[in-house]
Amino acid sequence: MPTPPSQRAPRPARHQREPGEGQQERRWSRDVTERSNALDLEEGVFTRGPKDMARSLKRSAEQSSRRKASPFQSAMSMLTFFENRAGRGLTPERRQALEQAKDELRRLYGRPTKGTPPA
């Protein structure tokens, strides 16, 4: 039978990191976008406008010989990965630009855009 919460030992305090400690562990997502094994991304791809971003991801995905999925899936995955890892740090304008880039990527590959029924 489990011990009631009132009789459990208190949890130990969480380890407080020193400034600069653990920087490598927190930067793994940057490494993925900079050194993806599936795509060789162009410099500053996620700082561009939606159309340029989508065209750049499409170029990178189609030129890659190391990807495991289709070019569309690889490009969309990298875009979604970037959006998810940026999280709350994205401004509403940047988040909108990423959503527009997804729609542009769908158009470039002849896929239905979000909210549009398939033909």
Q: What is the pLDDT of residue 61?
A: 92
Summarize pLDDT for 53-85 with one digit per residue, the tens.
999 999 999 998 888 889 999 999 999 988 988
Structural domain count of the chain: 1
Give domain status of residue 77, yes or no: yes
Look at residue 42 in the predicted model and tell me its pLDDT: 86
Residue 2 lies in a domain: no
- Is 106 part of a structural domain of the chain? yes
* pTM to 2 decimal places: 0.68
Residue 6 lies in a domain: no
Which structure tokens are listed for 113? 């855009």
Domain of 66, in residue numbers: 40-112
Residue 102, domain member (yes or no): yes
Output b/e per residue, 74-89; b: 16+ Cβ within 10 A: bbbbbbeebbeebeee
Q: How does residue 36 score in pLDDT terms, banded at 50, 70 and 90?
A: low
